[in-house]
Structure 1
Amino acid sequence: MRIGLDMMGGDYAPGEAVKGVKLFFDTVTSDAHLVLIGDETALKPLLEEAQLDTSRYTVVHSSQVIGMNEHPTKALKEKQQSSIAIGFYLLQHKKIDAFISAGNTGAMMVGTFYSIKSIEGVQRPTIATMVPREAGGYGLLLDVGLNADCKPENLVQFGILGSLYAKHILGTENPKVGLLNIGEEEGKGNLLAQATYPLLKDEPRINFAGNVEGRDVFTDKADVIVCEGFTGNVVLKMAESFHEVAVKRGIKDDYIDRFDFEYYGGTPVLGVSEPVIIGHGISGQRAFMNMIVVAQKMLESKLLDKIKESFIAK
């Protein structure tokens, strides 16, 4: 497998990206070949210093970088030699099997939707986040910002996509799917939640566990929690802020430490036909390593084939 990595994306690139590659090579057993996309002049001394096995990676030169504050569509159009544009070109033309970047999120989303097709039957691709559970392990919350407004059918598909990811990447057999709501009883919530509940209940491809409330998010009541992206993003940012406050106050706790985004790396775009993983702009070496690990798991498990089969079967 060939995994493409944008070496210029993120506030601490390319230094932390190179460190992440080294950490991956040193700690993960893998036959993955990494395609490092970035400015050769900037990368060469860092790669030499890291003393990486040159047989395990290839450098593809990019002469431009899309800044974090640039307009996504305009930047992709005008910067065809940027690391993000080249990454999507390679992915589109089957030169790499997955693409990872911690660069401009908007440019990554535009590149995904214009370069990579959605899987047939998927109405709206989604992004998810890992949710650390107090009893151990991780759940999944989606959508967390890509789709601020949704129809009931979209949330049902998020449940299917999340279930497949939880089963094949997180190793959760028959994952329970919950609908984020303001009460446990059927009939609670706004119009979207009320219309979604019976659809989830009747969907044979998921194991529906009913409504879950905010207090249930970090428990094992549901393995996959679905909501529209507006609510999901609020929950995500609130959880991240708890970790930030704990760090600032010098609080050390094993559970709170697991809210650090570097533990899980980046966010896969679920519902598109090729693996695309988007990282946080402040990603460090551990986040880069974990994004590579996620890409490897997606490829090894043939997750996208399973998603395609699930939607074709319907």
Structure 2
Amino acid sequence: MKIAVDAMGGDFAPEAIVDGVIQASAEMPSDVTIVLIGQQSVINAILEKHNFKGANIEIIHADDVIEMGEHPTKALSQKPNSSIGVGFKLLKTGEVDVFASAGNTGAMMVGALFSVKAIEGVFRPAIAGFAPQTNGKYAVMLDIGANADVKPEMLAQFAELGSIYCRATTGEESPRVALMNIGEEEKKGSLIIQAAHQLMKENKKINFIGNIEGKDFFKGKADVIVTDGFTGNILLKMGESLYGIMAERGVRDSFLDGTNYEAVGGSPIIGVNGNVIIAHGASSPTAIKNMVHLCKKQVESKVYQKIKEALA
């Protein structure tokens, strides 16, 4: 297995990225190689600084860097030899099994759509997040930012995509799927949410349990939480803020630890023909280490192939 990581993407790149990859490499089995993509001399200098002597890290040189504030489409077209551009070339040709970056989220989304492309039958790929639950598990939530505006059919498909992802990665045979709403009643919410509820209710491929409210977000009521990207992004970042506030007050708790973005390390793009992981822009070495573990888990789950089979 080859896990490609953008060494130049992120607020604290490349130091934090390379540091995290070094940590992850020590925990990977011998058949896993981590491919760092970026400016070779810079990466080598950091590896030497950490006195890295392992053999399971490779470097592929990329001249350019897509900065966080750049326009995604323009940057990808103007910088084909950027670390993100090279990463998607390697993924498209099958030279790596997964590509991950803490860099420009828009460029990662556009790059995925233009290189490996959306799976046939997928209306719009979604970014999935992981919400810690009071039962010790994580709920898969989608979308968390790729699609701020949605149609009922998209939400209904997010339910199916999330269900397949949950089954493939956790082994949960019949994941409980819930729709985030302002009330549990079937007729609550916007016209879009009400229409999506009916579509999900009629879909025999998912275990739809109905609506949940914001107060249920962490309560372990669902394995898959469906929402639009605008709401999902706010919910997930609200959870992250809980960790920051409690840490500042000296409060430590296993549940709160799960709300820390470092705990999982990344978010997969679900619905494309390949394994693509987006990490938090402020990723620390610990977050990057956990992102690499998420990459390995996703490749092993063969989730995008299972989505293709389900939609064929």
TM-score (norm 2): 0.96
Task: Compute the displacement of 1:119 (Å).
Answer: 0.6
The aligned counterpart of 2:297 is 297
The aligned counterpart of 1:152 is 152
Task: Compute the displacement of 1:51 (Å).
Answer: 4.0
Is structure 2 residue 9 aligned with structure 1 residue 9?
yes
The aligned counterpart of 2:246 is 246
The aligned counterpart of 1:87 is 87
Is structure 2 residue 204 aligned with structure 1 residue 191?
no
The aligned counterpart of 1:168 is 168
**Greater shift after overlay, 202-211 or 286-295?**
286-295
Deviations, residues 145-179 of structure 1 (Å, cap 9, x unaligned): 11111111111111111111112213333110001
Which sections of structure 2, spanning at least 5 residues, go unmatched? none
Is structure 2 residue 26 aligned with structure 1 residue 26?
yes
**Greater shift after overlay, 244-253 or 263-272?**
244-253
The aligned counterpart of 1:275 is 275
SS in 2 for 1:287: helix
Q: Is the 8 A contact 2:180 2:214 kept in 1?
A: yes
The aligned counterpart of 1:212 is 212
Task: Compute the displacement of 1:266 (Å).
Answer: 0.7
Structure-1 separation of matches of 2:184 and 2:73: 42
Deviations, residues 272-313 of structure 1 (Å, cap 9, x unaligned): 00111011111011211222112211211211111111111x
The aligned counterpart of 1:224 is 224
Structure-1 separation of matches of 2:299 and 2:199: 31
SS in 2 for 1:305: helix
Q: Is the 8 A contact 1:12 1:283 kept in 2?
A: yes
SS in 2 for 1:169: helix
CA separation of 1:3 and 1:28: change in aligned 2, threshold 3 A: closer
Structure-2 separation of matches of 1:233 and 1:57: 33
Which amino acid letter does the alignment assign opposite residue 123 of structure 2?
Answer: Q
Deviations, residues 51-74 of structure 1 (Å, cap 9, x unaligned): 445431221111211111122222
The aligned counterpart of 1:104 is 104
Q: Is the 8 A contact 2:98 2:274 kept in 1?
A: yes
Deviations, residues 21-72 of structure 1 (Å, cap 9, x unaligned): 1221222435211111011111112213334454312211112111111222
Structure-2 separation of matches of 1:163 and 1:49: 44
Deviations, residues 66-99 of structure 1 (Å, cap 9, x unaligned): 1111222222122222111111111122221210
Which amino acid letter does the alignment assign opposite residue 247 of structure 1?
Answer: A
Which amino acid letter does the alignment assign opposite residue 47 of structure 2?
Answer: L
Pairs aligned (count) = 312
Which amino acid letter does the alignment assign opposite residue 132 of structure 2?
Answer: P
Q: Which runs of 4+ in 1 moved over 6 A?
A: none
SS in 1 for 2:74: helix
Deviations, residues 101-145 of structure 1 (Å, cap 9, x unaligned): 001111111111111211111111001110100121111111111
Which amino acid letter does the alignment assign opposite residue 146 of structure 1?
Answer: A
Q: Is the 8 A contact 1:126 1:142 kept in 2?
A: yes
**Greater shift after overlay, 218-227 or 11-20?**
11-20
Deviations, residues 9-32 of structure 1 (Å, cap 9, x unaligned): 111111111221122122243521
Q: Is the 8 A contact 1:119 1:272 kept in 2?
A: yes
Structure-2 separation of matches of 1:265 and 1:202: 35
Q: Is the 8 A contact 1:123 1:154 kept in 2?
A: yes
Which amino acid letter does the alignment assign opposite residue 57 of structure 2?
Answer: Y
**Greater shift after overlay, 272-281 or 295-304?**
295-304
Deviations, residues 214-264 of structure 1 (Å, cap 9, x unaligned): 111101211101011121112122212222222222222221121111110
Is structure 2 residue 73 aligned with structure 1 residue 78?
no
Which amino acid letter does the alignment assign opposite residue 90 of structure 2?
Answer: L
Q: Is the 8 A contact 1:18 1:50 kept in 2?
A: no
Which amino acid letter does the alignment assign opposite residue 7 of structure 1?
Answer: A
Which amino acid letter does the alignment assign opposite residue 218 of structure 1?
Answer: F
Alignment of 1:51-62 (within 5 A): 51-62=51-62
Which amino acid letter does the alignment assign opposite residue 95 of structure 1?
Answer: E
The aligned counterpart of 1:39 is 39
Structure-2 separation of matches of 1:30 and 1:141: 32
**Greater shift after overlay, 195-204 or 262-271?**
195-204
Q: Is the 8 A contact 2:25 2:34 kept in 1?
A: no
Structure-1 separation of matches of 2:53 and 2:157: 42
Is structure 2 residue 141 aligned with structure 1 residue 141?
yes
**Greater shift after overlay, 48-57 or 81-90?**
48-57
